[in-house]
Chains A and B, each alone.
Chain A
Amino acid sequence: MAKRAARVPNPESHERDLWRQMLLIRRFEERCVELYSAAKIRGFMHLYIGEEAVAVGVLQALGPADSVVATYREHGHALARGVSARLVMAEMLGKVEGCSGGRGGSMHLFDAATRFYGGNAIVGGGIPIAVGLALADALRSTGGVTACFFGEGAVAEGEFHESVNLASLWRLPVLFCCENNLYAMGTALARSESETNLAVKAAAYEVPAWSVDGMDVLAVEDAARRAVESVRAGGGPHFLELRTYRYRAHSMYDPELYRDKAEVELWRQRDPLDLLGARLTDAGVLDDAEKAALEAEVFAEIDDAVAFAEAGSFEPVEDLTRHVYSERRPS
């Protein structure tokens, strides 16, 4: 773990905003569960609940010219990147107003405006793309950095090793963010990796790597800022292992036979919202009344997103074969 002094919450309330962002993700996904039960959302849906501090913390370190590649568990990343709750919710409902025009669904959120490049549902499949985005930034001297999120399960894929090697060899501006929630679907890390210290694997490719408490959003933000600063300064790719935990099932179809309820309860005691909330209260930045006010604000934002999505339209079937090839080609 990175040894950094715990940060004192800032009265300017940046931390208050972090708490709100995490709250938005959690309440958004809780609403998604209701909509799933009501059969308005279908297909696979993977919840990020418990892991909010990772996306929110890391994405504080990026600017608008930077890029993000995420996985199929990416609602939180999209929201933290600034894709509006309206566009994400409309996508969940398969509406044409969604951030991917309704074609992607929960696992394939895309938003060119915020340089949010998915939404990749092949484990490890987004990692080479992130390396390529970074290559383009390097060749064009844009100063941009690409943050690439993947789970610890992806570390077993060849694409991870090929990509980290290539990025290091070419010193490309990528921040590899490994969200270690301990289970690749139902397979515990120790049952799938001969070396469970994941930072060691990246270090083997000469990539600076360290592990971070992924339940502490301030620790995540500090680590990400430090890493991004170094990447931007030409230090080549960096790797963060973010130790976190998924409270919910892998997807909506998972009976969770592979772990104890007690383990889940243990992690809940280090809940990222509670951790930051308590620190903010202790520092006098956020009292119960203000928390309630933020809750109300977030509920209103989600209500608005659901209303927007419900009022949206389904793409006409006549458009079925659109977006296979570009509609405009040079003549």
Chain B
Amino acid sequence: MKTTYREAMRAALREALRSDDRVFLMGEDVGRYGGCFAVSLGLLDEFGPERIRDTPLSESAFVGAGIGAALGGMRPIVEIMTVNFSLLALDQILNNAATLLHMSGGQLNVPLVIRMTTGAGRQLAAQHSHSLEGWYAHIPGIRIVTPATIEDARGMLATALDDPDPVLIFEHGSLYPMEGELADDAGAVDIDHAAVRRAGSDLTLITYGGTLFKTLEAAEELAGHGVSAEVVDLRTLRPLDTDALVASVARTHRAVVIDEGWRSGSISAEIAARLGESCFYELDAPIARVCSAEVPMPYPKHLEEAALPQVAGIVSAALATVG
């Protein structure tokens, strides 16, 4: 059937709410407003205010309340409008969600799912546009997933809710209106493995989330240059599926990492380091990176576009790598 990323996410929420009484959704404007990005539109009517809970603008309190409710036997889904706002709840995410299992010597699971929007591309400037999922991937004790396809938007939530540990789902804001086909019986998908989205033999383009489709477009363009590019979608940033990356690079011997986060101290740096550690002798060229420019996101369209990884930049980095 034809659907959108947004509708696939909503279908996943609806299924979770229908199939498990312990599941509820809370966050700012998830109810009456229908969700800042209209993901939860209509769910209040279907499930009522006990299970679709509008919260005050208190990120720390409602994320912490999600942790407490998870400890108390519920399966909360907490929505935070954007990753930039999630910093107001960073204490709860890092000091509690990620540490309670450990501090309690394995006694206390926190089966919590936190969803938030990430990424740029909509001229929302420097406090609504950043890609901080790589930062979160620094933290042991939580899982970081980044659905890029409609199938993953539909299927990652159920698996995240089944997990006994906290899972953060990062939804790139530019993906919500994306249209595509989804199998009628689409359901839960694994959240442990990277996926090869396009097979190729000359180099590996490694990416995730909002830059997956730019990277696929670049791979298509590279084919016109006679370069066969493999595209690997990380899907999960923590724990990283290093085996899949190494397996691909062992075939292609070249790699370019594309990441909307800033370059310094980033997930792209982590990936490059792991490839250097794990398959240095497989490499025929230095690992290249295409990242966002190291500026807070500017407002004007031309500057925002210049700050972000773009198809042309990916193509030229790839050509330089195979050159």
Interface string of B82-111 (1 = CB under 8 A from A): 000000000110011000111111111100
Minimum CB–CB distance from B39 to chain A (whole Å) comes to: 22
Contacts A/B (CB < 8 Å), 13 sampled: A99-B105, A101-B107, A117-B71, A122-B91, A131-B65, A134-B68, A139-B74, A140-B74, A159-B61, A162-B58, A163-B61, A323-B106, A330-B162
Minimal Cβ-Cβ distance residue in B for A131: B65
Contact B101 A324 (CB under 8 A): yes
Contact B64 A131 (CB under 8 A): yes
B148 is an interface residue with CB less than 8 A from chain A: no
A108 and B101 CA atoms in complex are apart in Å by 11
A326 and B162 CA atoms in complex are apart in Å by 12
Contact B105 A162 (CB under 8 A): no
Provide the residues of chain B in CB contact with A60, threshold 8 Å: none
Given contacts A122-B95, A166-B65, A330-B162, contact A140 B105 (CB under 8 A): no
Provide the residues of chain A in CB contact with B222, threshold 8 Å: none
Interface residues of A in 203-255 (CB under 8 A from B): none
A133 is an interface residue with CB less than 8 A from chain B: yes
Contact A133 B104 (CB under 8 A): no
Interface string of B51-66 (1 = CB under 8 A from A): 0010110101111111
Provide the residues of chain B in CB contact with A101, threshold 8 Å: 104-107
A162 and B141 CA atoms in complex are apart in Å by 25
Q: Which of B76, B91, B101 contacts A125 (CB 8 A)?
A: B91
Provide the residues of chain A in CB contact with B106, threshold 8 Å: 101, 322-323, 326-327
Interface string of A108-152 (1 = CB under 8 A from B): 101110000111101001011111111111011000001000000
Provide the residues of chain A in CB contact with B163, threshold 8 Å: 326, 329-330
Given contacts A112-B108, A122-B91, A165-B58, 17 further A-B contacts (CB under 8 A): A99-B105, A101-B104, A117-B108, A125-B64, A131-B64, A132-B67, A135-B69, A136-B71, A163-B58, A166-B56, A166-B62, A323-B106, A324-B101, A325-B101, A325-B143, A326-B106, A326-B109
Contact B72 A162 (CB under 8 A): no
A7 is an interface residue with CB less than 8 A from chain B: no
A120 and B108 CA atoms in complex are apart in Å by 14
Interface range for B: 35 or more
User: How many inter-chain contacts with C-beta < 8 Å in the A-B complex?
Assistant: 158
Provide the residues of chain B in CB contact with A146, threshold 8 Å: 68
Provide the residues of chain A in CB contact with B140, threshold 8 Å: 324
Interface string of A42-82 (1 = CB under 8 A from B): 00000000000000000000000001000000000000000
Provide the residues of chain A in CB contact with B102, threshold 8 Å: 103, 323-324
Interface range for A: 35 or more
Q: Which of B58, B62, B65, B164 contacts A326 (CB 8 A)?
A: B164
- Residues of A at the B interface (CB closer than 8 Å) are 67, 98-104, 108, 110-112, 117-120, 122, 125, 127-137, 139-140, 146, 158-159, 162-163, 165-166, 169-170, 322-330
Q: Is the interface of A mostly helix, strand, loop or mixed?
A: mixed
Minimal Cβ-Cβ distance residue in B for A69: B68
Provide the residues of chain B in CB contact with A135, threshold 8 Å: 65, 68-69, 72, 74
Q: Which of B67, B109, B164 contacts A128 (CB 8 A)?
A: B67
Q: Which of A102, A104, A129, A324 contacts B64 (CB 8 A)?
A: A129
Minimum CB–CB distance from A166 to chain B (whole Å) comes to: 5
Provide the residues of chain A in CB contact with B70, threshold 8 Å: 132, 136
Q: In the A-B complex, list the 4 residue pairs whose CB atoms are closest, starting with the nearest.
A: A132-B68, A128-B64, A101-B105, A136-B72
Minimum CB–CB distance from B218 to chain A (whole Å) comes to: 35
Provide the residues of chain A in CB contact with B58, threshold 8 Å: 162-163, 165-166
Provide the residues of chain A in CB contact with B72, threshold 8 Å: 67, 132-137, 140
Provide the residues of chain B in CB contact with A165, threshold 8 Å: 56, 58, 61
Provide the residues of chain B in CB contact with A102, threshold 8 Å: 105
Most chain B C-beta atoms within 10 Å of own C-beta, residue among A98, A128, A169, A324:
A128
Q: Which of A120, A158, A326 contacts B60 (CB 8 A)?
A: A158
Provide the residues of chain B in CB contact with A170, threshold 8 Å: 53
Minimum CB–CB distance from A63 to chain B (whole Å) comes to: 16
Most chain B C-beta atoms within 10 Å of own C-beta, residue among A110, A125, A162:
A162
Contact B62 A100 (CB under 8 A): no
